[in-house]
Amino acid sequence: MDCLQIVFKLLPNWKREAEVKKIGYKVHGDPFSTNTRRVLAVLHEKGLSYEPITVKLQTGEHQSESFLSLNPFGQVPVFEDRNIKLSESRAITQYIAYVHSPRGTQLLNLQSHETMAILTMWMEIEAHQFDPPASKLTWEQVIKPLYGLETDHTVVKENEANLEKVLNVYEKRLQESRFLACNSFTLVDLHHLPNIQYLLGTPTKRLFKNRPKVHKWVDEITSREAWKMACDQEKSWFNKQRRN
């Protein structure tokens, strides 16, 4: 944990509220949503304050007229920086990382055109190769049971096969580099965290455990203090009750 995160963690609630007003960030979402957690992780890596605003997904609040005025696609999270309103979690994380580049964890590798291109390439790989099967597996094995729905094991089998192909590529890459984009933790690794965290609580965890380099990488990124805070409702949502 860096010094900024330590100071932020120890701030009393009234000082947090003052910091929120100073920065003016608002996060509309659900602290258990994978996309919301992706944004929370970056905020905690940077030691930034924000106002969490719960969107009740189970009651369809994300399809309400008031929320659609923030994001016409009806998806969480929405990030507000005064007059700027952003949706799409990966766009939000990049915005925060750029704006606060000198602060907290350095999540972008901007040393050269080459390093930036490699970083961008791996972010695209996460979004288009890893996320589709990982998100479907999370939906089938984690989300559906919460809604009383039955897991489709045929879908699980198909997407585990697709995920294995991706993880085989990762295993080879991680033999050459400590993290996916380079030898330091970046947005690339962070973007993987929400689905990985949920899948570690399902039978799919074996796909990560069975690959030594992937296993080591997963252990390292999931043990980051900022990520633990993002997953902890008390710390990430400031003791606000999750409204069902």
pLDDT at 109: 85
Is a pLDDT exceeding 80 seen at residue 52?
yes
Q: Which of 4-18, 108-122, 124-138, 189-203 has the lowest mean pLDDT?
A: 4-18
pLDDT digits (tens, 9 = 90+) for 156-208: 999 999 999 999 999 999 999 999 999 999 999 999 999 999 999 999 999 99
**164 within 8 A of 157, measured Cβ to Cβ:** no
pLDDT at 15: 46
Say if residue 12's pLDDT is above 90.
no
Q: Kindly report the CA angle at 47 between 240 and 18, in degrees rounded to 5? A: 60
CB 28 within 8 A of CB 129: no
**pLDDT over threshold 90, residue 240:** no
Predicted confidence at residue 23, as pLDDT, reads: 65
Closest to 28 (Cα-Cα) out of 79, 73, 66: 79
Write out the two tokens for 62. 């994300």
- CA-to-CA distance for 110 and 95, rounded, in angstroms? 14
Q: How far apart are CA 130 and CA 135, in angstroms?
A: 8
State the Cα–Cα distance between residues 121 and 128, nearest whole angstrom: 10
Which tops the pLDDT comparison, 172 or 58?
Answer: 172
Q: Supply the pLDDT for residue 67.
A: 85
CB contact burial 30-69 (16+ within 10 A = b; e otherwise): bbbbbbbbbbbbbbbbbbbbbbbbbbebeeebbeeeebee
d(CA 166, CA 159): 11
Per-residue model confidence as pLDDT tens digits over 60-83: 889 899 889 889 999 999 999 999
**Confidence at residue 13, expressed as pLDDT on a 0 to 100 scale:** 46
pTM equals 0.88
Which residue has tokens 């890459």? 173
